[in-house]
Structure formats: structure tokens, C-alpha cells
Amino acid sequence: MTNTTITEFLRKYKAGEVAEEEAVSSLGKLFVEEMGFAAVDHVRELRQGFPEVVYAEGKTKEQVAAIMESLYQRGKGNIMATRAGRETCDYVQKVLPQVQYDAAARILYIERNVLPPNRDGRYILVVTAGTSDIPVAEEARLTARLWGNEVHTCYDCGVAGIHRLFAHMEEIRKATVIIVIAGMEGALASVVGGLTDKPVIAVPTSVGYGASFHGLAALLSMLNSCAAGVSVVNIDNGFGAGVLASKIMHLAEKK
């Protein structure tokens, strides 16, 4: 729901096109829609600038489809469902043919607001240590793009072959926000943090052998980074990194 949606509804009520009893009932549904298995937050777009995002993992394909359909009918922004598998995708696309699927990012989405061409050179840069980190990186990239940002990527630039990172120094220097995604020991975030004056969002991944403890080693390494200006999100949380980077970008736009 947006300010435009509320304005249109109030105009109809004022013009007598909507009865008072219907107005009270409809206004309540504009904010939160109780679906039995979910309470869909239709005012999140108004509060945060983006509709509620569906976490598909753990939900049935029917539930994901119902929530996405509700968001589509009542809002005007882009719609996302993260951590969605192929079976869920196939079902949801039968209900909503507009839905697209990014298999690498595991995101179902409807892109109604297409990002215009970049005019000021500002962008988010997503950097990964290894190729195995790309699924998390793609979740971050697509999330940031759907939230209205230009996104560039530099993949497979880990510290085991640090010359690969140095080949992208110009992109690193020019980026507005940098998302660094790494598993194993997670050292890349500190390295990038020491090479730029821009905010760095570190994402530990569960990539690694036994002592990586499914990403815990990378998480602790990133939290203990000696580089100033590095923040850390949860293990494999590309979505969270994409949203945080987007909010930083939008704050900069308001200045």
C-alpha cells in the first residue's frame, strides 16, 4: 500500500462511492490481511518503501502463492519471495504468470518498477571470495536491484589469489556501498574494508570444510575484523545485505 492507494480510497469515500460500514471494513484490510496462516502486512511499503517480502522456505507452495497474489493485488511495488525452490516456482507461476524466477538466487519476483538507467554513477558492488559463494551473492544482487539500485559484481576474488581482487580496484573505489561475501575463514571482508572509504557489508557463508562450522568461523572472523567500517549480517543472509545496502544508497539520495 502506498500514499496514492490511501488517497484514492479516501476520495471514493468522500464522493459517496463507498458506504461507511464498507469503508471501515476495507480500511482495516488495507493495513493487515488475516489469511489464517499469515497476517499480510500491507503497510510495509508505506513504512519502508518496499512491500513485505515472503520467506518461502518452510511454507507450502499454496501459501507462498496466496501471499504473493495478495501483495500483487493490493500494492504497486516489486514483490519478492526468497529461498524458493523449483516446485514452489512452478506452482506460483500457474497462479501468477507474471512471476519470474532466478534459480541462482532462489528468488521469485514480480518486477513492476524497472530501474531506470544510472545517471550519477552510484552503484552497489557485490564481491565474492569464491564461486561457491555466488548463490548468496545473487540473492544480495537481485534483492538490491529490486529495491531500486544499480548493482555491479566481482566474483571469485578471494584472498587465496589476491591479485584477482586487485584487478577490480577501480570498481571498488568507485562503488557507493560494497557487499563482501565469503566462506572458509572469511578474510576477504577485512581486506576490502582496508582498501576503501565506503561502507562494507560482510556476509559470511556456510561454504567450507568441517572446522568452518557451517559459516560460524567466517562469521566470527568478520565480526573481529580490524578494518573500520565493516558491518556483518547473518550467515548466508544475502537478502539482508541487499536490503541494508539499498537503505544506505537511498539515504545518500535524499541528501
> pLDDT (tens digit, 9 = 90+) per residue, 69-89?
888 887 778 889 999 999 999
Question: How far lies 141's CA from each of 8, 164, 181, 244, in Å?
Answer: 34, 20, 11, 12
| Arithmetic mean of pLDDT over the chain | 87
18 close to 9: Cβ distance less than 8 angstroms: yes
**For position 64, what pLDDT does the model report?**
93
Say how far apart CA 254 and CA 125 lie, in whole Å: 20
Which of 69-73, 123-127, 250-254 is predicted least confidently? 250-254
Question: What mean pLDDT is predicted for residues 34-62?
Answer: 79
CA distance 207 to 131: 10
The pLDDT score that the predictor gives to residue 7 is 74
pTM exceeds 0.85: no
| Least confident residue range of 37-46, 98-107, 159-168, 211-220 | 37-46
Question: Nearest-CA neighbor of 215 among 169, 248, 183?
Answer: 183
Grade residue 201 by pLDDT with cuts at 50, 70 and 90: very high
Say whether domain 124-254 belongs to CATH 3.40.50.1970.
yes
| pLDDT at residue 29, rounded to an integer | 59
* Band of residue 120 on the pLDDT scale cut at 50, 70, 90: confident
Residue that the C-alpha cell 506452482 belongs to: 91
pLDDT of res. 74: 79
Q: What is the mean pLDDT of residues 114-118?
A: 66
CATH 3.40.50.1970, the chain: domain bounds: 124-254
Q: How confident is the model at residue 189 (pLDDT cuts 50, 70, 90)?
A: very high
Range with lowest mean pLDDT among 10-24, 72-86, 149-163: 10-24
Strand runs labelled E in the chain:
32-34, 39-41, 54-55, 79-82, 100-102, 107-110, 124-128, 151-154, 177-182, 200-204, 230-232
Name the percent of the chain lying above pLDDT 90.
60
Q: What is the pLDDT of residue 20?
A: 73
